[in-house]
Amino acid sequence: MNGYSVTSLLIAYIWAAVWLWYGIKHYRPQTNAFFWLTLDIFGACVCILGVSVLKLNSIKIATILLVAIFFYDIFFVFITPFLTGGKSVMLDVATGSAPDPSEEDHCYKYPEDCQGIGFLPMIFIFPQINDYADGSTILGLGDIVLPGFLIAFCARHDAAARLIGIHSPENEGIIDVPIKWYEGYFFSMMVAYSSGLFFAFLAVIIMEQGQPALLYICPICLATIFCLGRKDWKDLWNGAKVFQIADKLIKKTERKWGKERMKHFAEQRRRENTTLGTSSGNEGEAKPHSRRRSLEPNTHISNNLSPTATKRDLTEDTQPVSKDVCFGYEGHPGTIAFRTVVEEVATDLGEEEYRPEIYKIIKKKLKGRRFFKNDDIIWAEATKLEARKEIGIAYDQARGRVSSVLEDFDPLSLPTL
């Protein structure tokens, strides 16, 4: 977690704590701009999170949900008043059980009894303009989230169809691709939702009582999606195939992008090796036998060795021989043999991911060979961790996969696919 996330969380918690304190300690806090604006922001975040987390691949679940909530609203808004003496259960739950605003004398005499939010913070509050009683218009979060599942499905469907139309010219009319911004399902569904919400508020003005917004939104949205998708109704109901095609296209593009990154990485390594070979060649002109001596067994004992040196010290070889692996020097016989072994193991196993078992197999086949890395023009024996990392990179290259070493490269610098 970085500093930006910590700061954002700290501000959010402090903001929420102040909002909660204000709502508990004041009478009718929803009349304060800070309170209802904060409540609306929190509600919008909850709606966005809910719609983005639950992604539907068909309209089946959304249709069943909207039909069920349609009859649910009818029962609790229009039928329950006959069973509860004229009180609407849904309206009481939304607005809370606070004292009747007409009983202002009670709040003046006992202000502590009227403090508190008095309702569940699961609604949007919009104050009515030029209302002497400071009235508010409310809209439940469910009125946005539940139709939002269907609208989000339409947005994903249009995006997948456009992706297929751009990157798959061989589509040949199998899938209808929306070209203009207002084509497809999403724009029409947004118009349908807005119309349903408009009729809900119009009913509130005409009937002068609270109305369930989903009573008007659900039929209009369902009628719109079924009318527009009447040719593809079976596909939309059982699972849109555009999502499957788009997912395959994305995976194919990612593999192609990975190969391009690998080519970029290989080209960079080739340039580095060429530069290293050029610098080594320049040094070889001044000392023609220096490179040869650095890559051959050190069989000659230096004349300036201490007479007290042990036999083990004299025979210890700290330079690579022809069978050893020199990472970064592709022309070395040991490195060529190393690449051959890695390619054989990658072909035989067919494993995509580099695992510790693969490292053990390759290390066993290279038994007796040492691993060296070039450290400032001097060959030094690689550590076990460095050898494991280089073997993993070589295995990824043999499999044509993107190695973890490539994380340092900027994808924007690669050629466009």
pLDDT (0 to 100) of residue 29: 81
Q: Which of 51, 45, 23, 49 is nearest to 35 (CA)?
A: 23
Taken in order 358, 364, 366, 370, is the CA torsion positive or negative? positive
At 351, the amino acid letter reads: E
The CA-based angle 139-145-149, given to 5 degrees, is 150
Give the per-residue pLDDT at 254: 76
Regions of the chain short of the pLDDT cut 70: 1, 86, 88-120, 132-134, 168-174, 276-318, 351-352, 375-377, 401-417
- Give me the pLDDT at residue 330, please: 80
Q: Helix, strand or coil for residue 138?
A: strand
36: closest CA among 136, 130, 113?
136
What pLDDT was estimated at residue 241? 83
- Check residue 212 and report its DSSP letter: -
Q: CA-to-CA distance for 32 and 290, rounded, in angstroms?
A: 84
Kindly report the backbone phi and psi dihedral angles of residue 119, in degrees, each rounded to the nearest multiple of 5, phi listed first.
-155, 160
Distances (CA, A) of 60 to 8, 67, 144, 226: 38, 11, 18, 11
At 133 the pLDDT is 67
Instruction: Tell the residue number behind the tokens 């021989």, with chain if given.
Output: 321
| Helix residue ranges per DSSP H, 287-295 | 290-295
What count of Cα atoms within 13 Å lies in the side-chain half-sphere of residue 208? 0
* Catalytic residue selected from 73, 158, 324, 396: 73
Q: Has 73 been annotated as catalytic?
A: yes
pTM summary value: 0.58
Single-letter amino acid, residue 411:
P
The answer to whether 143 is a known catalytic residue is yes
DSSP state of 363: H
Tell me if 55 sits within 8 A of 140, measured CB to CB.
no
pLDDT over 90 percentage in the chain: 20
The Cβ of residue 120 has, within 10 Å, a number of other Cβ atoms equal to 12
Q: How far apart are alpha carbons 116 and 29 in whole angstroms? A: 8
**Boundaries of every domain in the chain:** 3-248, 318-402
* End-to-end CA separation in angstroms for the chain: 33
| pLDDT at site 45 | 92
**Cα–Cα distance between 185 and 140 in angstroms, integer?**
25
CB 177 within 8 A of CB 162: yes
pLDDT of residue 314: 35
User: HSE (CB half, 13 Å, CA atoms) of 377?
Assistant: 12
What the block records as the tokens of 397 is 């290259």
- List Cβ neighbours of 49 (8 Å cut-off, separation of 6 or more): none
Q: Which of 40, 143, 317, 375 is catalytic?
A: 143
What is the chain's percent helix, strand, coil content, to nearest 5?
65, 5, 30
